[in-house]
Amino acid sequence: MAPVPAAVAPQAQGAPEPPPGPVLRVHPVGQGDSIGSILGTAGVPRADVAALVAEAARLHDLSRIKMGREVQLTFDPSGSTLLALRYPLDPERDLVVEREGQGFAARQEVTPFEDEVVGISGVVEGTLWDSARSAGLPADMVSTLAGIFDWQIDFNTEVRPGDSFRLLAARRTVQGVGSRIVGLAAAEFVNAGRVHRALRFDDAEGGTAWYTPSGERMARAFLKSPLAYSHVGSGFNLKRFHPILKSTRPHWGQDYGAPTGAPVRAVASGTVQFVGTRGGFGKHVRLVHSDRFGSSYSHLSRYAPGLKAGRRISQGTVVGYVGSTGLSTGPHLHFEFYDRGRPVDYAKVEVPRGEAIEGARRPAFEGLRDQVLPRLLSVDGTAQVAAFFAHEGGAGRHGGFVR
């Protein structure tokens, strides 16, 4: 049966016609689209395009619009004059550029949202990535989880089935959009029976850092791995059979299997000692970290731009990209660590503990810990709302979490 159209009240005789309203046109961003092509196709004059883009640049570079998002254009009733542009920056914020006099004015518009804290937990079965995703952690937060313990666990070599994790995470619900995990407040990772826990807390410089429950900073002098989470190949071995030379020879380091182009990080701050090709190592970078320690990175496909001998770099700086130059059977990183010039097993290097929270900041940290840690320890196998973490006025726009 065909639906019956709704009755329309007859218009009173002599009543004026309602004035025509503005015209809305929605343009999905496709492959190869630019803001210029979208506005040009919509008939916006070049002068208006230039003025709009210049004004928007105060808040966002419209040359970087992303495929899959939508550009909303509002025109006057005739459809000839652009009145406003709206573009989503993220699920919580829109860029709005409106005509104002002879030009345009740009602003950000925040969509109302609420934050709450939820518990997430899981056990590693197969890979950490798959297990964390199955537990409800989005891809970017899996990387965040690994980054928290970057100085304590080599997620390329040390994670095993049966390891477990539990987290306190910020879940943000955006009006009309839905919910997503946007940050972490506390984390626990049990690796081979050893428990690692971390809490977020404002550091002395006004930023935010991760600390152990005893108040020691998680960050230490040396990262556990030069790669940020990849599959690993052969490890430190004094009698390794070389696959190309067909002979048994010492393997002074760690081989990390990774795709060509994966970024390679300096495990510690230091000075670049050598950049160039070195025999079977192929493209090779060597760093000096102190009078005692050094490291090297080999078989690179290319070096980081601007890297040269004598340059000072900080921990985590990209020094090059995974490749297969030199004596190599496939893309991988060969990493070596030196103690007084001699190669040593990096996994056995003793690293000093992180800086501890002291003085006037200590009571605030202990108050946060005593509030958050019991909640973390109460997380079991189910996601559970723990809306306890009020932060300067409670849930809302700021929420107390940053990625």
CATH number at residue 341: 2.70.70.10
Q: Is residue 170 part of a domain?
A: yes
73 within a domain of the structure (yes/no): yes
What does each C-alpha distance from 244 to 179, 252, 325 come to in angstroms?
52, 16, 13
What pLDDT is recorded for position 396? 31
How many domains does the chain divide into? 3
209 with 261, same domain: the answer is no
Tell me if 264 is assigned to some domain: yes
pLDDT tens-place values along the chain, 403 residues long: 444 444 445 555 666 777 788 999 999 999 889 999 999 999 999 999 999 999 999 999 999 999 989 999 999 999 999 999 999 998 889 999 999 999 999 999 988 888 899 999 999 998 898 899 999 998 889 989 999 999 999 888 889 999 999 999 999 888 777 888 889 999 999 999 999 999 999 876 777 899 999 999 999 999 999 998 743 444 443 334 344 444 434 446 888 888 899 999 999 999 999 999 999 999 999 999 999 999 999 999 999 999 999 999 999 999 999 999 998 889 999 999 999 999 999 888 888 888 898 888 899 999 999 999 999 999 985 443 333 333 323 333 223 333 3
Residue 193 pLDDT = 95
Per-residue model confidence (pLDDT) at position 18? 74
| Two structure tokens written together for 223 | 């990262």
For residue 230, is it within any domain? no
| 362: CATH | 3.10.450.350
Confirm if 258 and 320 have CB atoms less than 8 A apart. Answer: no
Q: What is the pLDDT of residue 355?
A: 86
Contact between residue 75 and residue 140 where contact means Cβ atoms under 8 Å apart: no
Query: Domain residues for 135?
Result: 114-220+355-385
pLDDT of residue 362: 93
Q: What integer pLDDT is reported at residue 250 of this predicted model?
A: 42
pTM confidence score? 0.67
Phi-psi region of 394 (alpha: psi -120 to 50; beta: other; left: phi over 0): left
Q: Is 11 inside any structural domain?
A: no
Give the span between the Cα atoms of 364 and 368, in whole angstroms. Answer: 6
Q: Is residue 216 located within the same domain as residue 359?
A: yes
The C-alpha R_g of the chain, in whole angstroms, comes to 28
- Report strand pairing: 293-303 vs 318-322: antiparallel
- Shared domain for 372 and 343, answered yes or no, is no
Kindly state whether residue 27 falls inside one of the protein's structural domains: yes
- Mention every residue, 6+ apart, whose C-beta is less than 8 A from residue 133: 139, 142
Q: Do 140 and 59 fall within a single domain? A: no
In the three-class reduction of DSSP (H, G, I as helix; E, B as strand; rest coil), residue 16 is classed as coil
391 within a domain of the structure (yes/no): no
